[in-house]
Chains A and B, each alone.
Chain A
Amino acid sequence: MITRLTSLSQNIVQFCRFLRQKGFTVTVEEEATALQALQFIDYSNNKIFFLALQATFCRSKTQLDEFKNLFNEYWKELNKAVDAKLKNEQTKKPPQIAKPQLKSLSAWLHGNRNKETEETASYSLNENISQKDFSAVPEDEVEELMQIVKSIAKRLAAKTNRRYEYSHKIDLPDLRKTLRKNLRRGGELLDIIHRRPKRNRVKLVLLCDVSRSMELYSAFFIQFMYAFQQVFKRMETFVFSTSLKRITSLLKQKNFDEAMNLLSMENSGWSGGTRIGEALNVFVNEYGKKMLDSKTIVIILSDGWDTGHIDLIKSSMESIHTRSKKLIWLNPLAGFEDYKPHVSGMKAAMPFIDVFAPVHNAESLKKLGKWL
C-alpha cells in the first residue's frame, strides 16, 4: 500500500475523478489498485505509466478506445496548469449528440399518417438501388421491441411435446431405460438415466418487403428484424424487393449500430419496386427444401403491392404454405379500419395465409402476441 501522499498519488486520485466525469466507473478499490500498481513499475517512463493506468482502469473495449485520449487530455491540461501556475477549469464537453429520429416513423407514431399513406400507395417499376442511411434508426426502442418479441417467441414455442427426450442434466429419472441399461451389471443401479419433456423447437423464417411502398415503415422493420434475429437463434431473415437477399448474418451483430452499418453498406435494393412473386419463388427454389419443414413458421412482412406476376405469388405461396407449419402475413396497412385486401397481390396470397395481422409499430406487435 502506498501511504505517503506524494503529488503523484494526488494526481492519480484527481485523474480518477476526471475519468468518472467522463463516464468511467472508477471505484475506490480501483484507485487503490492503480496506486498499488505504481510501486511495481517505473512510472517516470511516460509510456509505461500510461500502460499501467490503462490496464487498471479500463474494463471494456470501448473504454480502452477512449482511454488514450482522456489520458493525454488530462496530463496535458495538468502540465499546462503547472507551467502557468494557473488552474483552468476542465471544460466539459457537451454530453451526447441528440440522436436524429427517423421523421417518418415518429410522424407515424404521432398519428400524422394521412398524407404519407397516400404516398405509400405508389410503387416503382424499376429497381432503385440506393444506399440507405440507417444511422437514424433509434436504438433505444430496440430493447423494448426485443422484450415483446421474446414474449411472442415464448408463445410460439410454448407447447411442450408429450414425448420425453434424453436429458444430460439431472431431471426426471427414466426408470425403464435405467433398468435396461443396468441389467448387464446384474441389476445393480449404477447409471441413472434422466429424461425431460421434449421441447418443441420452432424455426422461423422472416421475409421482409423493403420496396419503396414499405419505406415508411423501414425503420420499424429493421428494428423488428433485428430484435427477432437476436432473440431467435434458429431463424433466417431475408429481405426482398425485386430480388431476394439473405441478411441473417448481418443481423446477428451484437451491436445494433454495427448491424445498421453493415445493412446500409449492402446494396440490397432498398426502396426499389416489388415483385413479391418472383422473390418468393426464388426463396422456394433456393432455400425452400432446406429451410421449410413442419416445424418452421414463415412470417412475411409486406403490404402486398406488387408489380410482378400474380400467378407466381399464388404458386409460391401455396408451396410455402404446404411445406411449413404456419404462414403468417403481417401487413402494415391492415391497421386501418377501412382496410380490405384489395391489392391483387394480396388477394392472390390470402387463401394460403394462416394468420393475417396488422403490424406497424411496437403497440401492434404486442397485440400480435395475443393473437397467436
Chain B
Amino acid sequence: MPKDNTINLSDIKRMLHEQGYITDNSVAMSVFLSLKLNKPLLVEGPAGVGKTEIAKVMANAMQTDLIRLQCYEGLDATHALYEWNYQRQLLHLKMVEHNDQPVEEKEKTIFSDSFLMKRPLLQAITHHKKPVLLIDEIDRSDEEFESFLLEVLSDWQITVPEIGTIKATHIPQVILTGNRTRELSEALRRRCLYLYIDYPDFEKEWMIVKNKVPGIDAKLAEQITGFMQQLRILKLEKTPGVAETLDWAMALSALHIDHLDKSIIEQTLGVVLKDWRDTRQVQISLSELMEKTGVRSKVG
C-alpha cells in the first residue's frame, strides 16, 4: 500500500474492492477524508449493513491492528481504559513479604506497567503502530461515557494517577458506529465525519453476494437478492440486513441449490428471519412475495 501521504481516492476505492467490500463513492470518500484529515468517522445505519466491516477493511488496508471497544449500557471508564490487576498485586506483595525491600520500592513495583491491565482505549494509544480503533455501538453507552470519550478523542492522552499521564504514541484511526438507539450529542458529531450506510440496492447487494459467496449459482444469487429486497419493503420487526443475505446465500449454496422455490424458502426462512411474528407474516404473504420477486412456484 502507498504511504499515507500519497494515498488518493482511487487507492481507497481499489483497496475497499480488494478486501471484498462492495460500496459506493460516498463510503470511499468518507473513509478517504477521515484518513487524510485524521478525523474520527462516525458510521450510522441499520443493523447488518456492514458498519463494523468498514473498520475491519480499513485495518486490513492499512496493514495494522484493529482494536475494538464494544459499548454497552453501563460501560464505564475502568472497562474502557485500564484496571490495576489487583489479584496479581496482592500475590506479589505476599511473595515479597519477607524480604527486606523498602516499602517505597515495593509500592513502585506493584504500580508498574506489568500490573496494569490495558483496556481498549489505553491499548490503542500505546500501540506500537497506528491502529484502527473501532468503538462499536457508541449509542448504547451512557451519556457520561460519551462525554468521557470526547475528552480522550481530543486530547489523546490518559492519566493514570499512580503512573502519570500517558500520551499517545500514535493517534489511532477511529471509527465509531451506531444505529440510532440514542441520539448522540452534537459535540461528538461535530468532532467526527459522518457517514450513513443504508441497505444496499439490488445491484449492489447482488454484487456483494456474488463476491462473498464465490461458488454461488448466478440465477440463485439474483433470486436471493430480489427476495431480500422485497422482504425489506415489508414492515417487519427485525428487517434482515446484508449479513442475513450472505448467510442465506451461503447456506443455499452449501446445499447445492440452484434456484429458489416455495418449499426451499419455507424450510430455510429461519436463516433470514429471527422473529416468529416476522416468520408468520412472511409465510402468509409468501406467494405474493415470490410473484414480485419473479420466483416461479412449483405448485400449479
Contacts of B32 in A (CB 8 A): 40-41
In the docked arrangement, what's the CA distance between A36 and B180, Å? 29
Residue in contact with B9 in the complex, picked from A33, A48, A168, CB distance below 8 Å: A48
Give B24-45 interface residues, CB cut-off 8 Å to A.
25-26, 29-30, 32-33, 36-37, 39, 44
Q: Are A40 and B8 in contact (CB under 8 A)?
A: yes
Quick check: which of B101-109, B187-195, B247-255, B266-274 contacts chain A, the rest being far away? B187-195
A48 to B90, alpha carbons, bound, how many Å?
A: 59
Q: B219 contacts the other chain (Cβ, under 8 Å)?
A: no
Which residues does chain B contribute within 8 Å of A27, judged by CB atoms? 190
Contacts of B9 in A (CB 8 A): 40-42, 48
Alpha-carbon separation in the docked complex, A262 to B237 (Å): 12
A-side contacts of B44, CB under 8 Å: 61
Q: With an 8 A cutoff between CB atoms, is B285 at the interface?
A: no
Q: Does B196 contact A (CB under 8 A)?
A: yes
Subset of 13 A-B contacts with CB under 8 Å? A36-B37, A40-B8, A40-B32, A40-B33, A47-B25, A51-B26, A52-B33, A55-B26, A60-B194, A190-B86, A190-B91, A262-B235, A265-B235
Nearest-CB residue, chain B, relative to A190? B87
A-to-B contact residues, CB < 8 Å:
25, 27, 29-30, 33, 36-37, 40-42, 47-48, 51-52, 54-56, 58-61, 63-64, 168-169, 188-191, 249, 254, 262, 265
Q: CA–CA, A265 to B44, complex, Å?
A: 27
Does A37 contact B30, Cβ atoms closer than 8 Å?
no
Q: In the bound complex, do residue B190 and residue A54 qualify as a contact, i.e. CB atoms below 8 Å apart? A: no
With an 8 Å Cβ cutoff, the count of chain B residues facing the other chain is: 32
Q: Does B94 contact A (CB under 8 A)?
A: yes
| A25→B86 CA distance, assembly (Å) | 47
Assuming the contacts A59-B194, A61-B44, A188-B90, asked whether A249 and B30 have C-beta atoms less than 8 A apart, the reply is no
Which chain A positions have C-beta within 8 A of B76?
A: 169
A188–B37 Cα gap in the complex (Å)?
Answer: 52
Minimum distance in angstroms from B175 CB to a CB of chain A: 14
For residue B191, give the distance in angstroms from its CB to the closest CB of chain A.
9
CB of A59 within 8 A of CB of B90, answer no
What is the bound-complex CA distance between A59 and B194, given in angstroms? 5
Q: Within the complex, what minimum Cβ distance (angstroms) separates A269 from chain B?
A: 18
Our pick among A25, A29, A58, A190 for the contact of B194 (Cβ within 8 Å) is A58
How many A-B pairs have beta carbons closer than 8 Å: the answer is 71
Cβ contact within 8 Å between B39 and A33? yes
- For B235, the chain A residues whose CB sits under 8 A away are 262, 265
| A47 and B26 alpha carbons, distance in the complex (Å) | 10
Question: What are the residues of chain B within 8 A of A58 when measuring CB–CB?
Answer: 194
Cα(A40)–Cα(B180), bound, Å: 31
Among A40, A51, A64, contact of B36 (Cβ-Cβ < 8 Å): A40
Is the Cβ of A55 less than 8 Å from the Cβ of B193? Answer: yes
Residue pair B196, A61 in contact (C-beta under 8 Å) = yes
Contact in complex: A52, B237 (CB < 8 Å) = no
Closest 9 CB pairs of A and B: A51-B29, A59-B189, A55-B30, A40-B36, A190-B87, A59-B194, A58-B194, A61-B196, A55-B33
Question: Is A48 within 8 A of B29, CB to CB?
Answer: yes
CB closest residue in chain A, given B88: A190
Find chain A residues with CB under 8 A from B190 CB: 25, 27, 29-30, 59
Contacts of A61 in B (CB 8 A): 44, 180, 196
Interface string of B77-98 (1 = CB under 8 A from A): 0000000001100110010000
The reply to whether B186 and A191 contact each other, CB–CB distance below 8 Å, is no
For B31-67 the 0/1 string (1 means CB < 8 A from A) is: 0110011010000100000000000000000000000
A40 to B90, CA, bound (A): 54
Return B85 CB to nearest CB of chain A, in Å: 11
Given contacts A33-B37, A40-B9, A169-B76, 9 further A-B pairs with CB under 8 A are A48-B29, A54-B26, A55-B193, A55-B195, A56-B33, A59-B186, A188-B90, A188-B94, A190-B90
How far is A41 from B237 in the complex, measured between Cα atoms in Å? 42
- State the CA gap A168–B86 with chains docked (Å): 16
Chain A residue nearest to B44 (CB atoms) is A61
Q: Bound complex: CA of A131 vs CA of B123, how far in Å? A: 56
A189 to B90, CA, bound (A): 9
Partner of B186, one of A25, A42, A52, A168: A25
The CA-CA distance from A52 to B44 in the complex, in Å, is 18
